[in-house]
Amino acid sequence: MNISPLQKQRLQYTPKLPGMLRAGIAEISVKEGEPTTSVADQEKIAALFPNTYGKNEITFVKGTNTSTPKKQVVGVILSGGQAPGGHNVICGLYDALKATNKDNVLLGFKNGPAGLVNDDCVEFTDEFIDAYRNTGGFDIIGSGRTKIETEAQFEASAKTAKNHDLTAVVIIGGDDSNTNAAVLAEYFAAHDLGIQVIGCPKTIDGDLKNDDIECSFGFDTATKTFAELIGNIERDANSAKKYWHFIKVMGRSASHVALECALKTQPNICLIGEEVAAKKMSLSQIADYIADSVADRAAKGMNFGVAIIPEGIVEFVPEFSTLIAEINELLAGEKTAQFNALPTWDEKKTFIKNGLTTDSYAVFDILPEGIQKQLFLERDPHGNVQVSLIESEKLFSELVANKLAQRKANGTYNGSFKPQHHFFGYEGRCAFPSNFDADYCYSLGYNAFMLIQYGYTGYLSKISNLSKPADQWVAGGMPITKMMNIERRNGEDKPVIRKALVELDGKPFKYFEAHRDTWAVETDYIYPGAIQYYGPSDVCDQTTVTLALEKGE
């Protein structure tokens, strides 16, 4: 296999572990904390998870290992979208297994949870594992989005586990994947199969976090990758001095990625979906807000700028959410065929106007025609609008252009507005992990084995105190059910891990809020540059700005 010089060097990097995990497996003891409850809907969650609910949080400390030795055969699954560092979770798990007993086995189930259902796996060896240390991607075994939720899938998973004498399964994934881990743990416990299930917190979106999980892995690397690109664009904008760049970044359900990138680069505009929802801002108000920055900068002779747009911004706009709901109802059942049979767009617009409320049609009418058509041409398997496909960066640049044209007509604006558009998403999902993510992920995997060795199931591997150097990190575990509540999914009440949104009273947003008016008018850009792997620790091992602000550092 051909590899780059950087990969050769990264393969040799030794990830840093929390202090209490460095003493050696034989000297790691466990300290149990208080029993836990779910974040909401306690009675319903407890009823759904009678065998795994309410367990204690635990912390690993230095001391005599009191676990009962036995041969471990562990299966590992990469689930959901890719995030930098997944390979290191597997490497940390493998190294801990082999350090305890060289006869322990680690099996990688291919292409996500489907690998467990279909009994499709590979056994890891030193040579296999060593080729993936500190690298990006999930290509070591692939990933997938299959959910194990039917009785047939549970039975097939149990059969696979029996075929390989599995003692435990580790699921590396986001909120949905770890919800699935909790459900699988409950099934195995209810049927007394003796198979533990441990989860590891992954998502570049940053919305799998709470007081216990300070940061999901991959978020640091992805935002540093995006911030490098945004910084490059800022420098280009400041050099050419003639373009406004509208940059959409990943994060459909929360704006953590956008906020972190803004804190790293100080763009002129960054929209935060949670604030848009809280203030009930309309599309017109958002467009005016951006247009104000464009006009103020133009008045200073600066006809250029940078705006960061979260991927899911339109879903936070109340009037747009109402419009989507009405469109879904408008085209329900046989009405879709009636609509599609209309020969011209003008006839279709008449059909739409007659089917929407006056307020919703007013929102629809201000949208660029391309976005209007997309709302009616792109449907998901359930017949609903695929909001995630909306090119919101183009939507807002066109709305801003219309606002500026109105201002130019009444003499309040005389600048030049030339927009450019970008979407950063896949660019960050499989990057070489930063030192922080390489260390964090390796620790999560190593720690997952400690949870297995001590007999825990339905737990999430937990590394905390992450704003400090790695030797001060704290390792432990928390029951996945602690993060759960009941939500309505596809017409049914389902237990799910609650997504963490940007907290508008939190320190990261408050810092952004205090500085954004200056950034909107001035050219106060920061150019982060590429991720650094070698050099001073304050350059190479720094955590996210979000986490540093949250911890008051």
Q: What is the pLDDT of residue 379?
A: 66
Q: What is the pLDDT of residue 389?
A: 78
In angstroms, the CA 294 to CA 49 distance is 53
| Contact between residue 111 and residue 141 where contact means Cβ atoms under 8 Å apart | yes
Q: pLDDT per residue over 515-535, tens digit each?
A: 999 999 999 999 999 999 999
| Contact between residue 224 and residue 90 where contact means Cβ atoms under 8 Å apart | no
| pLDDT of 541 higher than 90 | yes
Domain ranges of the chain: 5-32+56-218+433-479, 223-311+391-426+500-553, 317-386
Question: CATH topology of 5-32+56-218+433-479 equal to that of 223-311+391-426+500-553?
Answer: yes
In angstroms, the CA 303 to CA 236 distance is 13
- Percent of the chain residues past pLDDT 70, beyond the cut: 98
Q: What is the pLDDT of residue 328?
A: 85
pLDDT bucket at 378, cuts 50 / 70 / 90: low
Which residues of 314-444 form beta strands (DSSP E)? 419-424
Q: pLDDT per residue over 252-295, tens digit each?
A: 889 999 999 999 999 999 999 999 999 999 999 999 999 999 99
Predicted TM-score (pTM) of the model is 0.94
Instruction: List, by residue number, the catalytic residues.
Output: 205
Q: pLDDT per residue over 305-359, tens digit each?
A: 999 999 989 989 999 989 988 998 888 778 888 898 999 999 999 999 999 999 9
C-beta neighbour count of 254 within 10 angstroms: 25
| pLDDT of 1 higher than 70 | no
Q: What is the pLDDT of residue 264?
A: 98
**Among 220, 276, 271, which Cα is nearest to 248's?**
271
Q: What is the pLDDT of residue 326?
A: 92
Q: What is the pLDDT of residue 252?
A: 82
What is the average per-residue pLDDT within 206-219? Answer: 93
Sheet holding 244-249, edge to edge: 269-270, 305-310, 244-249, 419-424
Q: pLDDT per residue over 379-430, tens digit each?
A: 666 566 777 778 999 999 999 999 999 999 999 999 999 999 999 999 999 9
| pLDDT of 493 higher than 90 | no
Q: What is the pLDDT of residue 380?
A: 64
- Percent of the chain residues past pLDDT 90, beyond the cut: 86
Q: What is the pLDDT of residue 24?
A: 84
| pLDDT of 490 higher than 70 | no
| Contact between residue 294 and residue 233 where contact means Cβ atoms under 8 Å apart | no
Q: Does domain 317-386 have CATH number 1.10.10.60?
A: no
Q: What is the pLDDT of residue 78?
A: 98
Q: What is the pLDDT of residue 183?
A: 96
CATH level 2 (architecture), domain 5-32+56-218+433-479? 3-Layer(aba) Sandwich (3.40)
Handedness of CA 52, 53, 54, 58 (dihedral sign): positive
CATH level 2 (architecture), domain 223-311+391-426+500-553? 3-Layer(aba) Sandwich (3.40)
Residue 323 tokens read as 């419009």
In angstroms, the CA 441 to CA 125 distance is 19
User: Average per-residue pLDDT in the chain?
Assistant: 94
End-to-end CA distance of the chain: 43
In angstroms, the CA 468 to CA 433 distance is 18
